[in-house]
């Protein structure tokens, strides 16, 4: 059976939620792996969950990105192993250079926790296999450093050709450039996003007016591991 | 002879990357009190390294190397100044 690694750093706090959804809601085999014990060989997919790795000191994700676990992750592009970074996991992936851009403190300077709507563009790869172009997903954000920044050249040459999650008009609460909520490598193998799909995978947790639609990301992975992508 | 040098690293957002904290201090504190000669304020992060080295250049280049290799600053969005503490 396929196995999903959920990497835990000191300060990671969404690992149990991700484990619950991957195992109990979607039905994949998964384990939480302490970052020092992580090696790439035994896993079919890797998720870096949210939280405050190493206390968010220096910059969110900056210290975790220089651990051996994450340096090893840079091999996934050769191995073809799907990687998902959620919230702090996304910050780790951009700090590690696995995804373009950077994540800065929110424009308001405050921690923001609320539900948003994001539109998916050019869905490709294992994490977005079951998503249609233009689909709007509802998920909560919960972060202090989620203002995505990318320069114009990188946006025009790379981002615009890659799978992308964009805050729907009126939901860009952190001031991200181009309303970007999540980015992926052009083939969609590595995906990072600020909203929390694991907190939007069961209807019971969605507030009025929102649909828990983050589950499709984990369902896409389950299908992709079975049938390819 | 081995000496200890104090080396400072100052990290600020690049000119084209907004710094809302600096903008707020400038606009709502400094300009409101009439200090109109202040044309801008940038906030940042300050690190002080205590480095063993045989001369100041060695200490400086060691800290510069650390800042690049360990990504103490993020070159996509930050400028960095590394200098000896006076």
What is the per-residue pLDDT across A164-220, written as a single tens digit (0 to 9) for each?
999 999 999 999 999 999 999 999 999 999 999 999 999 999 999 999 999 999 999
**Predicted confidence (pLDDT) at residue A1 exceeds the cutoff of 80:** no
Confidence tier at B44 by pLDDT (50, 70, 90): very high
- Whether A196 is catalytic is yes
**Predicted confidence (pLDDT) at residue A60 exceeds the cutoff of 80:** yes
Q: Is the distance from CB of A196 to CB of A142 less than 8 angstroms?
A: yes
Q: Which of A72, A118, A122 is nearest to A98 (CA)?
A: A72
Domain ranges of chain A: 3-227
d(CA A2, CA A197): 20
Structure tokens at A116: 């948003």
Domain ranges of chain B: 3-84
With respect to CATH, is domain B3-84 assigned 3.30.1280.10? yes
pTM of the model: 0.94
Which chain B residues in 25-64 lie under 8 Å from chain A, judged by CB atoms? Answer: 45
Distances (CA, A) of A8 to A19, A31, A71: 11, 10, 15
**Predicted confidence (pLDDT) at residue B38 exceeds the cutoff of 80:** yes
What is the number of CB-based contacts under 8 A between chain A and chain B? Answer: 32
Provide mean pLDDT across the span B8-18.
Answer: 96
Q: Say yes or no for a CB contact (<8 Å) between A66 and B71.
A: yes
Q: What's the pLDDT at A48?
A: 98
- Whether A198 is catalytic is yes
**Residues of chain B neighbouring A58 (CB-CB closer than 8 A):** 45, 72
What is the per-residue pLDDT across A71-86, written as a single tens digit (0 to 9) for each?
998 888 788 999 999 9
Q: Which CATH class is domain A3-227?
A: alpha beta
CA torsion through residues A45, A51, A54, A58, sign = positive
> In what side-by-side order are the strands of the sheet with B3-13?
B44-53, B3-13, B78-84
- Chain A: closest CA distance from residue B81 (Å): 16
- How high is the ipTM of this complex? 0.86
Structure tokens at A186: 């052009």
What is the per-residue pLDDT across A211-224, written as a single tens digit (0 to 9) for each?
999 999 999 999 99
């Amino acid at each position: 059976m396929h196995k999903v690694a959920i990497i835990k750093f000191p300060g990671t706090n969404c690992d149990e939620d991700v484990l619950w959804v991957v195992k109990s809601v979607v039905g994949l085999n998964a384990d939480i792996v302490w970052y020092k014990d992580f090696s790439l060989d035994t896993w079919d997919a890797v998720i870096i969950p949210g939280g405050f790795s190493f206390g968010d000191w220096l910059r969110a994700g900056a210290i975790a990105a220089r651990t051996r676990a994450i340096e090893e992750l840079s091999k996934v592009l050769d191995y073809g192993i799907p990687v998902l970074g959620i919230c702090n996991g996304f910050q780790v992936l951009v700090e590690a250079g696995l995804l373009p851009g950077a994540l800065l403190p929110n424009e308001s300077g405050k921690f923001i926790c609320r539900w948003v709507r994001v539109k998916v563009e050019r869905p490709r790869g294992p994490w977005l296999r079951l998503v249609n172009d233009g689909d709007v997903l509802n998920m909560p954000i919960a972060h202090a450093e989620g203002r995505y920044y990318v320069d114009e050249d990188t946006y025009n040459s790379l981002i615009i050709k890659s799978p992308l999650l964009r805050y729907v008009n009126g939901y860009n609460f952190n001031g991200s450039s181009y309303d970007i909520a999540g980015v992926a490598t052009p083939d969609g193998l590595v995906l990072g996003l600020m909203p929390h799909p694991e907190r939007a995978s069961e209807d019971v947790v969605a507030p009025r007016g929102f649909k828990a639609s983050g589950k499709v990301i984990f369902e896409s992975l389950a299908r992709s591991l079975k049938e390819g992508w | 002879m081995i000496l200890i040098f104090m080396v400072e690293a100052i990290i600020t957002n690049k000119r084209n990357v907004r710094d809302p904290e600096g903008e707020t201090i400038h606009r709502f504190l400094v300009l409101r009190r009439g200090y109109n000669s202040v044309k801008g304020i940038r906030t940042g992060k300050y690190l002080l390294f205590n480095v063993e080295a045989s001369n100041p250049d060695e200490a400086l280049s060691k800290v510069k190397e650390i800042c690049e290799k360990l990504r103490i600053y993020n070159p996509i969005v930050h400028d960095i100044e590394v200098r000896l503490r006076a």
